[in-house]
Every structure is written in structure tokens, then in C-alpha cells.
Structure 1
Amino acid sequence: MPIIRFDPPPIQDDFGEDDVRSMDVGRRQLRTEWPRTLYKPDSPDKDWCLILPFPNTYQNAFFSMCDVDAHAHHASTGKLCLFLRGSGRDEEPPTEATKWVDTVGKYVAMKDFLALSFALDYERKQGDPNRSQIKIGTLRARAKPYGSQAATKQTTAAADQLVEHCLVFLEVMSCYESADCVVSMPPSDPAKSYSLPRYLAARIAEKWKREDLTENVRTVTSRTSIKGVRLAKKLDTLLGSIKVTKNTFDGKRVLLIDDLYQSGISMNYCALLLLKAGARKVFGLACEKTCRNDDNVSGRI
């Protein structure tokens, strides 16, 4: 008889280059942008319903973290509806569901192709470019020297604070627990002596007690920054510039670390390469989400 193996969530769906090329990333922070999530049934034969902005990331996070019997429905509007079975006669929603919303709602969830994809926070309050910079944004600015500037003690001190914020996230977001290795997004210039994502990945791997496989995902061709490239052309700028070592990631569940999530093209392309190299799942974690998905380029939030 064939052996049937159950793959528990988070589930990694298949995707390809065309999906990444046409990706129009969405993002939401429930606490600030989606304040109402739980809806009481209008009759006892119906159940409490948890309505979320999109299925990507949220569905995997819910079923990985929340011990509640639920049925997932993907609405035609793009929303995720989770019907909490057996709760129709309850005056209050299941406590587990309420706690889950409180935990997940602090972070920025991404609508992309990774099994899980979150940022710790926006660059500025509530993702509004006209509002003040928040703590995570300030720390990242201090932790990342630009141009030919060398890293200083102040640089690494700020980076170490970002590491601690990431570790708190990984502790409360138990959906990431199954990751067995850590990788950083490779820098656009392989000659850089200091890379913030690489620094973060090394420290997180050490303190979270996971294998650091960053050296097996490297830039082989220097590339210009894709920040000012139009969305439709971003992937073309990346193609062929990153190489993943063969036979290293077979069956691995990878935590992919970056300091900044903008359009998501870079992280999703890197994840695609990891999956093609044999990785089983890729979980993304960025420190900061930009206010727009395409800074300096015409794009939608």
C-alpha cells in the first residue's frame, strides 16, 4: 500500500516566475487597518465568522496556531472567511480565536506566494508615508549603512535590537516553529563587507537554535537596485543574479530574512529558487514594510 504523508500547515503552494512577475502584493496590519474581524452569527444554526483581508499568510497562520475547528472559505471579494464550527450558540467568540487575532494583528501580513510572510511593522505609523517614523523604521535606518559607509558600533547595536524584535516575533508566532534553517536575502553587491540581512540571519539562527545556511544562497552577478525599476521589469533585473547550492535545501523549511519588504519581488524570487532547489516550504520575515509597494515608482498600495 502507498504511504500517505500528511503535510501539516503552513502549506506551501506551488508558484512560478510568471506568478512573481505579475505579483501585485497586498498587505494588512489588522490592528490598524482591519479592526473588525469577528462576526457574531444571526441565528444559532450558524457559526461565528472570522473575516480576514486575504487567504495568503493568514490561513496558514491560523491553522498553524489556533486550536479551533474551522472551515475556510475564499470569498469572491478576495477575503478569507473562517467559520468557527460549533460556536453558533456562544455569546462570545472562541477565546483561542480572539487571542490569535490579538497576536497576529500587531504584525504586517503579506499577500504573496510564501507559505508565511510577515513584517514586524511599517516604516511609518499605520503605513502612512505622511506620518512619523516608528521604532522599527528608526532602528533599521540606523542599522543599515548606505553606499561605501562602514558598519559602526552604533550600526550593529541597532541591528542587535532588530534581532531581539525578530526573536520576540518568532516566539509568539508559533506558525514559524517548524522552520529548521535560516537564510538571508543576498545583497545586490556580493563584495559588500557588511549586509544587514546577513547579520540578522546569523544572529537569529544562533539565538533561535537553527542552522544558518545563508552562504548557500549568494549573489553571483552584481545587480543594480530594483527600487526605481518599474514593477513589471523588476524580476528581469533579478533573473540569473542569485544562485542556490544544490542538494543543500532538500526537504528544508526555510526562514528567509530581509530587512525591508517593498514590492516583494526579490523575496518571492529567492523563495522560488529555494523551492526549485528542493526546499519544502519558505517562511518570510522582514523587519519593515515600506508604506508603498513600489517606492519611487507608480504603484498601488
Structure 2
Amino acid sequence: MAVQPEGAPCWADAMFSDIEGAKTFYGDVLGWTFGESSPEYGNYTLAYADGKAVAAVVPPMPGQEGPSAWCLYLASGDTAATAARIRENGGDILMEPMPVADFGTMCLAREPSGAVFGVWQAGTREGFEAMGTPGAYAWAEVFTREPGKADTFFAAVFGYGQKQMEDEAVDFRLYDLGDRALLGRMTMTDDFPPEVPSYINVYFTVPDCDDAVAKATKLGATLRFGPMGTPFGRFAALTDPQGANFSVIDVTTTEGEMPKTTDVS
């Protein structure tokens, strides 16, 4: 795939203390196969769907042990410049821009409402080799308790336009570049336990949502929401056995009319 435009989701990875357990789980639920681990890069291991790189798993470095979580990376043409904008707009840099051989340059950041994300400047590795196909990345949403902070930050750093969904039941916004919707932003309600911080929820494509949920729960995942039919596809939210939140979506099974939105850029 071509290099993604500035601010577009381009990669996802997660840190797991039990790498073999993660490979077994996601291999069964999403149909992933895995490449050889790379000892020179902390045993970073690529995940493949239909032979195309779609994500990666990695064990924690000594002293970095913590809850497992998926990290979404946003594309940048200049990681150092993006890091500067992140700081200027109230975000924190958790890992300074760092070259990864000739693959590219990465950094890790936290936006002002608390969600952690990555930034990737492509070198020889552009990012996702597939999107929207079974096993591959489909979509992501910023779940936040402080939507105003997130909205202001992402617009300033990445130049997103914004459209508010006209729905009194939820506070949901789309971040876009031109005609392309890139991310959703959902305000967290009291349904989320207070100890759950803001985070970015990553959706992976599956051919059958209910089947994926059945496989996941059989392997020890917790079903948090759904399965539910929507105009975008049938989806469900899960927490894997090691605590990482993610969603699965069957984009071929849609239900209902597309919601109306209002431009609030």
C-alpha cells in the first residue's frame, strides 16, 4: 500500500507478557499467522493476514511490564515536527522520535485527555499492507472522558476536519481529512469503570462477527459490547485474555441508515 497521508492510521501493535498466548488467541480469532521474531528489535513479531503484514506483537522490555493494550500509529512525514506539535498542543511525548533501522522512525505520545498513540514516519516499511479485509485493520476510535481536549488536540496536530453525529444518545464525532473519515471520537459514559483511562480502540475486520466473538470468548476473552448491527457493519467490543481492548467488525453485514452528521470543523 502507498504511504498514508499525514494523520492517517498506518499501523498497530501490542505488547504482551505472554507472546505465545497472544499468537494463539489472535491466530484463532483473526486468522493471523506470524513471522519470525526479531531479537535485534526486542523480539518484535509481525502478524499476517493472507500473507500481508497487518499488525505486530512484542514482549515487554525489562522494566516496561504493564497492562496489555493495542497502540495505533498515525502517519507522519516528519516525526520530529509532529512531536513538536504534540508538545505545543498539550500532549506528552512518551518515547522520543527513534529510527528503527531503515524501516522508519517512530515515537509514542499521549494526547491531553490521556489516550496513548504512536507516530510513524515511513522508511522502507510503510505500515499496513492490507486494510478492510479479513484479519486486517478496519477502523479506530478515540474513547475519552474529555472530548473537548481530544477534539482540539487532534485538529491542531494533524489538521483533521470534524463532523458531529446527530444522535442524542451518544456523543460521537468523526475526524477526517477531506472526504476520508480517519478516526471516530466517542465520549466515555459512566458505563466505563472509572479506572479505565482514555484509549484508542482498534477494530479488526472479520468475515463473521458472531463467529469471531464465539472463538474469542471460548479462548478467555470478555465480551464488552455487542454483537450489534450498524450501517457500518456488525461489530462487537472485546477484551482479550491479557487485558487488551479491541473490536471486531464484519463490514459486509450492514443494518440501518447512515447517521446524519454536522460539520463542526
Give the TM-score normalised by structure 1: 0.29
Answer 1 or 2: which has greater strand percent: 2
Structure that is richer in helix per residue = 1
